[in-house]
Amino acid sequence: MRHGRPNVLVTSAGRRGELIEILRQSFAAGGRRASVFTADASALSAAGLVGDGHHVVPRLDDPTYLDVLTRLCDELDVGHVVPTIDTELPLMASAVRHLDNQGTRVWVSGPETIALAQDKRLTNRFLAEHGLPHARQWDLDSLDDFHSLSFPVIAKPARGSSSVGLARVTSSDALSQLRTERGGQDYVVESVARGTEYTVDVLVDRLGTCRASIPRKRLEVRAGEVSKGVTVDRPDLAALAREVVTKLPDAFGVLNVQIFADATGPSAVIEVNARFGGGFPLTYRAGADLPGWLAQDIDLVPPTASLQWAAGLVMLRYDRAVFASADDLGVQT
Amino acid sequence: MRHGRPNVLVTSAGRRGELIEILRQSFAAGGRRASVFTADASALSAAGLVGDGHHVVPRLDDPTYLDVLTRLCDELDVGHVVPTIDTELPLMASAVRHLDNQGTRVWVSGPETIALAQDKRLTNRFLAEHGLPHARQWDLDSLDDFHSLSFPVIAKPARGSSSVGLARVTSSDALSQLRTERGGQDYVVESVARGTEYTVDVLVDRLGTCRASIPRKRLEVRAGEVSKGVTVDRPDLAALAREVVTKLPDAFGVLNVQIFADATGPSAVIEVNARFGGGFPLTYRAGADLPGWLAQDIDLVPPTASLQWAAGLVMLRYDRAVFASADDLGVQT
C-alpha cells in the first residue's frame, strides 16, 4: 500500500469545526477517500459533530492517553494525526516514532521546536541568537529597576497562549502591583513592538524546507481568536517567517509565526505556534492548500495541490451551531 | 396587497449569521418569497455576507439614522425589520408608527418594556411589584453597610449586557475596592440566586398574548455568548417567563427571560432581553418557528408554522468563516 492509511484524526478537536471541513475538502480535492475523525476529552465538541465520527478519549494528563490514541488510530485506519492545541504537542512529538511504525504520521514538529515555541523566554532567546527582530524581554520576578523601563510594556505568562493573562502596563506602580499579584507565575515583560500584529502561516516539509509562507493581518480578535482578518501581500513578512522556521531545529508541518510590523517593515517576532492557527481557514480559502501539500509530501507523491494564494481576501466569522440529542452526548437536562 | 411588503431587514446585523439563515428558512417554509437584507454601521459584518445584501448605515447616535433606515426599507420593499441589539431598541420603538405607515413592521416591544428591560433596577422593581421571584438588589453607590450583606454577591452595571462588567464579589473589602473603581457608573449589587442560569425564549403576539415559551439551559458561555446549550422540559420555567412577559406593559415579538433555577424550581428572574437572544438558533432548531409564527400573526393569516418543540436538543458552536474581497469591503491591506 503506497499511501499508507487513508483517514485523518484531529485531536483535542474542540471548536475546530472549520478545520475539519477544510481537511475533508483538501483530501477530497487530492483524490483521496478519507474520513476525518475527531477526538477530545469531552463529548461536547462542536468539531465532533462536523466530522465523520467523534471519540471521547482520556485527558492529556492521563497516563493511558497515548495507548488509547494508538489503538484508536489502528482501529480507524488513521494515516494522519492533526494535533490542534499547544498542551498536547510535547506528548504528540514523543509518540511520533511509535505511531509512524504503525503507518500513522503525526503532523507535529520535533521536541526542540515545540519546547521553544511554548516558552516565550526560549523564543526570545532563539530570535536574539539568530539576529531576528525581537522585543526586549525581562523576567517579571527578577526585574530590578522598573524605572529603567520605557512604558507602556506588555506583561504576559511565559507559557501562555491565546492572549490569556496578557496585560498592557503603563507605569512602574502598576507593574509593581502586577508582580505582587502574579509573582512566581513565570511572567515576562516585553517592550511594545512597533506596528500591528500579523500572523504568517507556514508549511515546512519533511526535509525541513519551508514550502509556503502566507501573511494575514488581524482586524479584530474575540475571546483570544481572530474574528476578522485579511491576507496581505507582504513579501517581507513572508520572508521573515520563512527564515524563522528554517532556523528552528526540527520544525515540521503547518505552523504560524506572529509578527509586529508597520509599513516600513517588521519590528519583532512575538510568538511561534507549532500547530494550525485559529485563523488558518483564511489562508486555506485564499488558495493555499497546506494540508493537501503536506499529505502529498508525507506520501512522497509529486505535488498537485496548489500553493498559489490571493492577497486581499477578508475573513469574517460568526457563531455557527451544530446540534445533537442530549441522550447521544450524555448531557443531563 | 394583503401581506404587505415581502422582505426582511436585520439591523445591527454584526455576527448574527445564523439568525439570517433562520429567517430565510422560516419565511421560505411559510411559502413567502422574501429576501433577507442586513444593515450595520460597519461593512465588516459576518451576517452581511450571509444575507441577500448588506447596507452600511450611519451609527445609531447619528441624527440621520432613522431617515436612512426609512428610505432603505422603502427602497428594499421591507415588510419586517428585526433589530438585534439592546442599544437600538428605544430608537426602533420610537419609529414604529412611522414605519408602520409605509407598510414596514418593526419586531420590537413598546417603549415601557424596553426601558424596563434595559435597566436592571427597573427590572428588579417590576419583578418585586408583581410578586415574581427576584434577587435582592442594592445600588452600589448608595449602599451603606457592606457588612450587612451575605457574601458572595454579584455586582454589575445597571444598564449592561452580555455579562460585560459583571463581577462576583466575595468580601466587603473587595466591594469597597469595586466602589472606588466603578463608583458613579451605576452599578447594582445583587444577592446570588440559587441554581443555574436558564434562558426562556418567548413569543408575544400583537394582542399581548404569550404564544410560546421555550426554556434552554446554558452549558457554556464564551465572550458573553452561549456557546453550548440544551433545550429542557421545564414547564415551571416556561410558565414563569410567560407570566413575566404577560405582565410587561407593552411586550411584542420575540424576547427572552433569564432565570436562575434548580431542581426545586426558579429562584430569581435576572434579566429580560427585548430582542432575539444570541442562543435563539437552539430554540428554532428544536422546532419552535417563532419568526414564522410572528410573521403570520402580523399578516393576520391563520398560523401554519408549528410551535411544537423538542426538549433535550444540544447546541454546540464553532467559529464559521465567510469571505469577501478587501476591495469590496473597503479594507486597506
* Mean pLDDT, rounded, for A178-190: 89
Are B199 and B172 part of one and the same domain?
no
| pLDDT cut 90: percent of chain B above it | 85
Looking at residue A154, its amino acid is I
Residue B129 lies in a domain: no
Residue A126 lies in a domain: no
Question: CB of B327 within 8 Å of any CB in chain A?
Answer: yes
What is the reported pLDDT for B1? 38
Its domain, for residue A155, covers: 136-191
Are A25 and A93 part of one and the same domain?
yes
Residues 230-249 of A with CB under 8 A from B: 230-233
Q: For every residue of B60-116, which 3-state class applies, written as one string? A: CCCCCHHHHHHHHHHHCCEEEEECCCHHHHHHHHHCHHHHHHCCCEECCCCHHHHHH
Last residue of a domain, one of B108, B128, B146: B108
pLDDT band per the 50, 70, 90 thresholds, residue B278: very high
* Mean pLDDT, rounded, for B1-24: 90
Model confidence at A28: pLDDT above 90: yes
Are B141 and B154 part of one and the same domain?
yes
* CA–CA distance, B301 with B23 (Å, rounded to integer): 18
Q: Considering CB atoms only, which of B49, B317, B325 is closest to A321?
A: B317
Tell me which of A12, A234, A319, A320 to substitute to probe the interface with B (most B C-beta atoms closer than 10 Å): A319
What is the reported pLDDT for B212? 96
Say if the Cβ atoms of A318 and B230 lie within 8 Å: no
Model confidence at A3: pLDDT above 80: no
What is the reported pLDDT for A182? 85
What is the reported pLDDT for A147? 81
Residue A219 lies in a domain: yes
Please name the helix (run of DSSP H) or strand (run of DSSP E) that holds residue A238, with its range, or none: helix A235-247
Instruction: Write out the three cell numbers for B10.
Output: 436585520
In chain A, whose CA is at the least distance from the CA of B14? Answer: A318
Model confidence at B302: pLDDT above 90: no
Are B230 and B248 part of one and the same domain?
yes
pLDDT band per the 50, 70, 90 thresholds, residue B3: low
Q: What is the pLDDT of residues B93-146, one digit of tens each?
A: 999 999 999 999 999 999 999 999 999 999 999 999 999 999 999 999 988 888
Question: CB of A326 within 8 Å of any CB in chain B?
Answer: yes
Residue B33 lies in a domain: yes
Residue A36 lies in a domain: yes
What is the reported pLDDT for A2? 45
Instruction: Write out the three cell numbers for B283.
Output: 430554540
Q: CA nearest B204: which of B293, B79, B93?
A: B293
Residue A333 lies in a domain: no
Are B185 and B211 part of one and the same domain?
no
In chain A, whose CA is at the least distance from the CA of B321? Answer: A317
Model confidence at A22: pLDDT above 70: yes
Are A205 and A312 part of one and the same domain?
yes
Model confidence at B331: pLDDT above 70: yes
Chain A residues with beta carbon closer than 8 angstroms to that of B281: 321
Instruction: Write out the three cell numbers for A47.
Output: 468539531
* CA–CA distance, A37 with A47 (Å, rounded to integer): 9
Q: What is the pLDDT of residues B171-212, one digit of tens each?
A: 999 999 999 888 788 999 999 999 999 999 999 999 999 999
Question: CB of A164 within 8 Å of any CB in chain B?
Answer: no
Model confidence at B306: pLDDT above 90: no
Q: What is the pLDDT of residues A208-240, one digit of tens each?
A: 999 999 999 999 999 888 999 999 999 999 999
| pLDDT cut 70: percent of chain A above it | 99
* CA–CA distance, B231 with B65 (Å, rounded to integer): 37
Last residue of a domain, one of A169, A191, A213: A191
Residues 284-323 of B with CB under 8 A from A: 285, 311-323
Are A200 and A179 part of one and the same domain?
no
* Mean pLDDT, rounded, for A129-153: 92
For chain A, how many structural domains are there in total?
Answer: 3
Residue B128 lies in a domain: no
Question: CB of A166 within 8 Å of any CB in chain B?
Answer: no
Residue B64 lies in a domain: yes
Question: CB of A263 within 8 Å of any CB in chain B?
Answer: no
Model confidence at A26: pLDDT above 80: yes
Q: Considering CB atoms only, which of A220, A227, A319 is closest to B18?
A: A319
Q: What is the CATH number of the domain that holds A218?
A: 3.30.470.20
Are B17 and B92 part of one and the same domain?
yes
Chain A residues with beta carbon closer than 8 angstroms to that of B331: 219, 230, 312, 314
Model confidence at A1: pLDDT above 70: no
Are B187 and B199 part of one and the same domain?
no
Are A239 and A186 part of one and the same domain?
no
Are A187 and A199 part of one and the same domain?
no
Say if the Cβ atoms of A318 and B50 lie within 8 Å: yes
Q: What is the pLDDT of residues B136-163, one digit of tens each?
A: 999 999 888 888 889 999 999 999 877 7
Q: What is the CATH number of the domain that holds A148?
A: 3.30.1490.20
Q: What is the CATH number of the domain that holds A92?
A: 3.40.50.20
Q: Tell me which residue has cell 483535542.
A: A12
Chain length of chain B: 333
Tell me which of B164, B216, B318, B333 to substitute to probe the interface with A (most A C-beta atoms closer than 10 Å): B318
CB-based burial, B243-255: b 16+ in 10 Å, e otherwise: bbbeebeebbbbb
Helix A17-29 to helix A290-298 angle, to the nearest 10 degrees?
60
What is the reported pLDDT for A205? 96
Alpha-helical segments (H) within A84-137: 89-94, 96-101, 111-118, 120-129
Are B178 and B198 part of one and the same domain?
no
Q: What mean pLDDT is reported for chain A?
A: 94
Say if the Cβ atoms of A312 and B320 lie within 8 Å: no
What is the reported pLDDT for B298? 93
Chain A residues with beta carbon closer than 8 angstroms to that of B325: 312-314
Residues 24-83 of A with CB under 8 A from B: 44-50
